[in-house]
Amino acid sequence: MQNRQRNQGFTLIEILVVIVIVATIVSMALLSVGLVGEDAELDKERLRLASVIETIQDEALLQGREFGVEVMTSSYRFIEFDPLTRLWVEIPGDDLYRLRYLPDGLEFELYIDEKRIRLENDPRKLDDPDKPMLSAGAKPYVPHLFIFASGESTAYEIRLRRPQTDQQLVMRGDVLGQIKFGDDDEI
């Protein structure tokens, strides 16, 4: 009878082992959800950039205007070519095309003609139409990407990266303004 009472319950060691196993499984599940969340954030930002580029391409085509995109390490902005001053200027009164920042921990890599473009951390200063260039050798402001009124644009590859985890997503645009997503091998 004494043997029978001993087999009816769990020992403290058995309960602790089960708790450790459950805690390990839960922590692994939480870590994997965190990694998927990072991918979702990368994808969300890539989709946002593509949507704004597609919108400005439509606007260029419909209104006969020419736009540019300046890409920085962790931000981007849209600008417009002013045919009167022949300079690139801010797009006035349009919040959609304002300077946009990526969430912390994300950054861009830009490739044009398969060459990596060195990106600045901050936007470059636009040329002032009221001030002539100081020297003949000074380069006027030019954006990285062009979006023409004809519907054509600069062919590019933008990689949206999370350097801490070495994750990245790719977005490519061709000269006809078509945008494709994928990894290096998929496109």
Q: How would DSSP label each residue in the chain?
A: -HHHHHTTS--HHHHHHHHHHHHHHHHHHHHHHHHHHHHHHHHHHHHHHHHHHHHHHHHHHHHT--EEEEE-SSEEEEEEEETTTTEEEE-TT-GGGS-EEPPTT-EEEEEETTEEEPPPSSPPPPPPTTS--SSTTPPPP--SEEE-TTS-B--EEEEEEETTTTEEEEEEE-TT--EEEE-TTT-
Q: What is the pLDDT of residue 11?
A: 85
Domain boundaries along the sequence of the chain:
12-129+140-182
Mean pLDDT of the chain: 84
pLDDT digits (tens, 9 = 90+) for 3-33: 555 567 778 888 888 898 988 888 777 665 5
Top-tier CATH class for 12-129+140-182? alpha beta
Q: What is the pLDDT of residue 133?
A: 55
pLDDT digits (tens, 9 = 90+) for 110-160: 999 999 999 999 988 887 766 655 555 667 889 999 999 998 999 999 999
- Whether the pTM exceeds 0.75: the reply is no
2: pLDDT confidence band, cut at 50, 70 and 90?
low
pLDDT digits (tens, 9 = 90+) for 26-81: 877 766 555 544 478 889 999 999 999 999 999 999 999 999 999 999 999 999 99
